[in-house]
């Protein structure tokens, strides 16, 4: 059995010798900042106890149908999340990743399923981030017909603490050419969502694809952090990128205290929390 310290040392060696970094991140990235990771129903209920009494899981609540049948309920959930994410400070691991990226002359990109905007808040370039599920810091109309707009500086959703329902007035879209407005919703891909406006995320994907084409023949490393199998988007993306890489030294480092299985002999699994793993790797840099 390979000792964990040797794995950490190998991870540091790989990062130092890479020509580019791709950071892929799931909900576990924010746990050390105090954010919930919604790991399974129990994890979701720990973050939102009132939903346990109703027997509602994350796919039940994070569903666009609520904006039609009970908009106060819908905005209670997303309004609370917006306030939480907006008031949360990114943990020190973000700065470690930023330093590694800066040492490569900013030759990096981020692919994340998180909608919290923590990478941008930590100082990463907005144009080097793909938010594959959208962002809570942007809004759209509930039918997806409007343009996407940023959450205004004075944005506030007042929420009843017992019911977790939002109090009117609820966010509305800008008025159209007919002087009409409709209910707004976060520009986030929800479960069973046919009305998500993906234009902003599509542009992010296009930027990433162009950049990746320019570096895929070089030795790059994918550092995957806190990505689970409940929604496997990030783990699948990590493995796909390494498969598409055209250099013998290309590999990935998977940081996850539980779902950390890796394929092949080059890739590294670190069964640890995010901040602990990044700090230990930094110790060998």
- What does the domain layout of the chain look like in residue ranges? 4-282
How far apart CA 134 and CA 200 sit, in angstroms, is 8
Q: Which residues are catalytic?
A: 133
CB 208 within 8 A of CB 130: yes
Of the candidates 264, 271, 259, which has an alpha carbon nearest to the alpha carbon of residue 243?
264
pLDDT > 90? residue 223: yes
pLDDT > 60? residue 16: yes
Instruction: Count CB atoms within 10 A of the CB of residue 212.
Output: 17
Mean pLDDT of 4-15: 94
CB 229 within 8 A of CB 162: no
Cβ neighbours of residue 198 closer than 8 Å, sequence gap 6 or more = 134, 189
pLDDT > 70? residue 1: no
91-100, 126-135, 155-164, 172-181 — which is least confidently predicted?
A: 172-181
Mean pLDDT of 224-237: 91
pLDDT > 80? residue 180: no
Mean pLDDT of 221-249: 93
Instruction: Count CB atoms within 10 A of the CB of residue 183.
Output: 16
pLDDT > 70? residue 177: no
Structure tokens at 9: 């040392």
Q: What is the predicted pLDDT for the residue at 186? A: 98
Q: What is the predicted pLDDT for the residue at 189? A: 97
Strand order in the sheet with 20-25: 129-131, 108-112, 20-25, 220-225, 251-255, 268-270
CB 182 within 8 A of CB 141: yes
What's the whole-number average pLDDT of the chain? 92
Instruction: Count CB atoms within 10 A of the CB of residue 237.
Output: 20
CATH class of 4-282: alpha beta
45-49, 153-157, 277-281 — which is least confidently predicted?
A: 45-49
Of the candidates 251, 130, 102, 260, which has an alpha carbon nearest to the alpha carbon of residue 200?
130
Of the candidates 176, 77, 48, which has an alpha carbon nearest to the alpha carbon of residue 136?
77
Task: State how beta strands 251-255 and 220-225 pair.
Answer: parallel
pLDDT > 60? residue 9: yes
Mean pLDDT of 67-80: 96
How far apart CA 131 and CA 201 sit, in angstroms, is 6
Q: What is the predicted pLDDT for the residue at 259? A: 86
pLDDT > 60? residue 140: yes
Percent pLDDT > 70 in the chain is: 97
The sign of the dihedral angle between the CA atoms of 112, 271, 262, 13 is positive
pLDDT > 80? residue 83: yes
pTM above 0.75? yes
CA dihedral of residues 12, 16, 18, 20 (deg, nearest 10): 100
Alpha carbon 77 to its chain's center? 18
Q: How confident is the model at residue 97 (pLDDT cuts 50, 70, 90)?
A: very high
Mean pLDDT of 43-54: 81
22-31, 136-145, 154-163, 186-195 — which is least confidently predicted?
A: 154-163
């Amino acid at each position: 059995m390979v000792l964990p310290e040797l794995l950490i040392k190998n991870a540091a060696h790989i990062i130092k010798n890479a020509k580019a970094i791709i950071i892929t991140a799931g909900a576990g990235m924010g746990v050390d900042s105090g954010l919930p990771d919604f790991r399974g129903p129990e994890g979701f209920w720990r973050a939102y106890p009132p939903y346990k009494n109703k027997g509602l899981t994350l796919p039940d609540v994070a569903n666009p149908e609520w904006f039609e049948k009970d908009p106060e309920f819908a905005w209670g959930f997303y309004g609370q999340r917006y306030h939480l994410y907006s008031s949360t400070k990114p943990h020190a691991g973000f700065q470690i990743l930023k330093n590694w990226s800066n040492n490569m002359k900013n030759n990096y990109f981020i692919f994340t399923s998180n909608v919290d905007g923590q990478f941008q808040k930590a100082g990463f370039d907005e144009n080097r981030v793909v938010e594959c599920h959208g962002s809570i810091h942007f809004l759209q109309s509930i039918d997806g017909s409007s343009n996407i707009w940023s959450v205004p500086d004075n944005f506030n959703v007042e929420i009843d603490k017992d019911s977790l329902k939002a109090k009117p007035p609820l966010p509305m879209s800008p008025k159209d050419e007919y002087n009409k407005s409709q209910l707004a919703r976060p520009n986030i891909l929800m479960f069973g969502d046919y009305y998500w406006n993906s234009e902003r995320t599509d542009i992010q994907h296009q930027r990433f694809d162009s950049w990746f084409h320019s570096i895929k023949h070089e030795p790059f490393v994918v550092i995957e952090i806190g990505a689970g199998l409940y929604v496997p988007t990030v783990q699948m993306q990590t493995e796909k990128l390494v498969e598409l890489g055209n250099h013998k030294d290309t590999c990935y480092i998977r940081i996850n205290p539980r779902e950390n299985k890796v394929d092949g002999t080059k890739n590294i699994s670190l069964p640890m929390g995010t901040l602990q793993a990044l700090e230990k790797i930094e110790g060998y840099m």
